[in-house]
Amino acid sequence: MRKGNLIKMAAPAILSAAMMVSGLPVMAADFTSDTAVETEAQTDEFDAADDTADAFAGDEETPFVDDQAAAEDEFAATAETGYKYVYAGLTWAQYWASEGVYNAANTASNGTKDSHDELDKGGFDTVTRATVNHGLHRGSYQCMATIDTEDGKKYELAGWSSDGKQMILTDGTQLSYNRGTITNADGTTTKLVSYEVTGIKYVPVKVKTSDLADFEQHYRVVKNGEKLYGGFGENKLSSYEYTAAVNADTNGLKTAVKNADGTYSFSARQTGNGKSFAEQDISVAANITSTVKDATGSYGEFLRVDINGDGYGALGAMMQAVKWTYYGNDATRTNVVATYGTKFAADNWMHKSMGIQLGLTDSARCQLPAGYDGTGYWSLTVYALGYTDTTIDFEATDANIVKVKAPVSDTSKLSAAIAAADALNEADYTAESWAAMKLEYEEAVDALAVAEYQADVDEATEHLTAAINALVKVEADTPSGSEEPDNTDDSSVEDVPTGDANNMMAYLAAALLALTAGAAVTCRRKIKNVR
């Protein structure tokens, strides 16, 4: 027994001595001759520890092998004691910098607006469409979000409560939110004046332990054991709340490298099968379909692929970014012609009932090579938190590539859909389904007033018609204002100008004019009051 006790006392000390040697960095630039010497010393120390363990084991009445195996397993799990695994918020430019995509370093703002009066053609300079037209909640699924208020405060948003009425801030604070009004913990209120999303909020990152404190000063960090939040439930999209559990094998893991000037760079993402959340193992996208859309350019894109099926909502809630790989006329998909990295929410976004709608926009981050027109063979890869990478191979034909957008020629179907909505009685439908329809109605009215291209009109007609068909009748014993959490729309959001801050006052002025005069909305970024 004395021998056994001695072994149990000594084994942790042996293990501790071995673990005092920090794990070696993985970046090639960090390997030096000094590192080689240190590695050799490590090996000698580990050999000595093994010899000691063997000596103990030789006199052990009860086999030492089980305890030793357990210690080795523990050591393997923490072999790189010099590193921590966390989630960090990165801009799209930071995320794509090491991924070999076209013009990834370009962060210049763009001064030319697209057909939707939005600044979407620069190098990750703005995020607009999904956050303006579809509210704060949807933008918060996987995006870093900042709310600016009229009293000059900034609220760093992590997510929302399941009913969408409580803001969850990055420090865990929860504040009441109702149609642009925020109620602080002390009871004071303030009004939202702008909302900006800037990148991916939960990128798994490996960072040196010695750099972690400094790293936290530069990036939004969520440590293992802390909570991850996203969105709130609406139709096929589900909100989420998970416990962070990043490890060396987490899919999409990047290594943070501190530069000489104190800034950080990030390695290419790694492919892995480890957990992202404590609650579950990695998921595989299921029950999804993809469609290469006929050329319309409804959102300013020249190529569009939609993902639908019963499983798109689960994938969409976790989607962080999309990589497009173009192979030209190479049907074997061997020789890459160009690779593009896109951001979420502007050129990639999701709809609560009409799928994930992905597109490539003619912009600073996407230019086709000389001699190519976009037809040919492509691969599209969705990067999603907690999922294996989802790759869709497709061929784009001439019918899928937008060349010249047709001007508006026929608005009769859109006018008819608007008239059909006008004839409906709000009291006949549940509050949530009516709000969802009203959002699409407002966009349809907008399109009818300002649309330059037939594609915009046709898309608005499709969406409004679908929303009308999705209206839910009030049951005889159910008040019209009753809540339906599973069919809640984020359309309670108002006063949400985004993108270029220089245009803020213009947006507010246009919105005030429209509300006061009852005029048709003349700006895409208008204040929406759908409740």
Residue 242 within a domain: yes
pLDDT class of 232 with cuts at 50, 70, 90: confident
pLDDT class of 211 with cuts at 50, 70, 90: very high
pLDDT at 219 over 50: yes
How far does Cα 107 stand from its chain's mean position? 19
Query: What's the domain count of the chain?
Result: 4
pLDDT class of 160 with cuts at 50, 70, 90: confident
Residue with tokens 């794990």: 23
Domain hosting residue 68, numbered range: 2-81
Of 162-171, 193-202, 323-332, 345-354, the one with minimum mean pLDDT is 345-354
Q: Same domain, yes or no, for 105 and 193?
A: yes
Last residue of one domain, picked from the residues 81, 108, 129: 81
Residue 281 within a domain: no
Residue 118 within a domain: yes
pLDDT class of 491 with cuts at 50, 70, 90: very low
Distance, CA of 286 to CA of 270 (rounded, Å): 22
Share of the chain above pLDDT 70, in %: 68
pLDDT at 368 over 70: yes
Distance, CA of 187 to CA of 161 (rounded, Å): 19
Distance, CA of 219 to CA of 120 (rounded, Å): 25
Arithmetic mean of pLDDT, 210-223: 96
Global pTM exceeds 0.85: no
Distance, CA of 490 to CA of 137 (rounded, Å): 6
Q: Which residue has the higher pLDDT, 98 or 43?
A: 98
Q: Same domain, yes or no, for 72 and 90?
A: no
pLDDT at 129 over 50: no
Per-residue pLDDT tens for 382-416?
Answer: 999 999 999 999 999 999 998 866 788 889 999 99
Distance, CA of 425 to CA of 434 (rounded, Å): 10
Residue 3 belongs to what H/E stretch?
Answer: helix 2-19
Last residue of one domain, picked from the residues 204, 233, 266: 266
Q: Same domain, yes or no, for 26 and 161?
A: no
Q: Same domain, yes or no, for 35 and 68?
A: yes
Give the tokens for residue 166: 């409580």
- AA letter at 406: A
pLDDT at 33 over 80: no
pLDDT at 370 over 90: yes
Cβ proximity of 79 and 21 under 8 Å: no
Arithmetic mean of pLDDT, 248-268: 97
Measure the CA angle with vertex 239, ends 237 and 244; round to 5°. Answer: 130
Distance, CA of 498 to CA of 507 (rounded, Å): 9
Q: What is the CATH number of the domain that holds 359?
A: 2.60.40.1300
Q: What is the pLDDT of residue 15?
A: 40
Last residue of one domain, picked from the residues 400, 431, 450: 400
Arithmetic mean of pLDDT, 41-60: 42
Residue 282 within a domain: no
How far does Cα 356 stand from its chain's mean position? 13
Q: Which one, of 447, 448, 490, 379, lies nearest residue 141 by Cα?
A: 490
Distances (CA, A) of 154 to 144, 146, 161, 196: 13, 7, 19, 11
Q: Which one, of 176, 124, 125, lies nearest residue 155 by Cα?
A: 176
Q: What is the pLDDT of residue 284?
A: 97
Q: Same domain, yes or no, for 316 and 345?
A: yes
Q: Same domain, yes or no, for 103 and 227?
A: yes
Arithmetic mean of pLDDT, 145-173: 87
Per-residue pLDDT tens for 65-91?
Answer: 455 554 444 444 444 469 999 999 998
Q: Same domain, yes or no, for 206 and 104?
A: yes
pLDDT class of 120 with cuts at 50, 70, 90: low
Residue 234 within a domain: yes
Q: What is the DSSP letter of 232?
A: -
Q: What is the pLDDT of residue 137?
A: 67
Q: What is the pLDDT of residue 113?
A: 66
Residue 47 within a domain: yes
Residue 526 within a domain: no
Q: Same domain, yes or no, for 494 and 425?
A: yes
Residue 230 within a domain: yes
Q: What is the pLDDT of residue 98?
A: 94
pLDDT at 152 over 50: yes
Distances (CA, A) of 291 to 102, 295, 362, 395, 455: 25, 12, 20, 11, 17
Q: What is the pLDDT of residue 344?
A: 59
Q: Same domain, yes or no, for 260 and 143?
A: yes
Q: What is the pLDDT of residue 65?
A: 46
Q: What is the pLDDT of residue 178?
A: 85
Q: Same domain, yes or no, for 477 and 355?
A: no
Q: Same domain, yes or no, for 361 and 392?
A: yes
Q: Same domain, yes or no, for 136 and 211?
A: yes
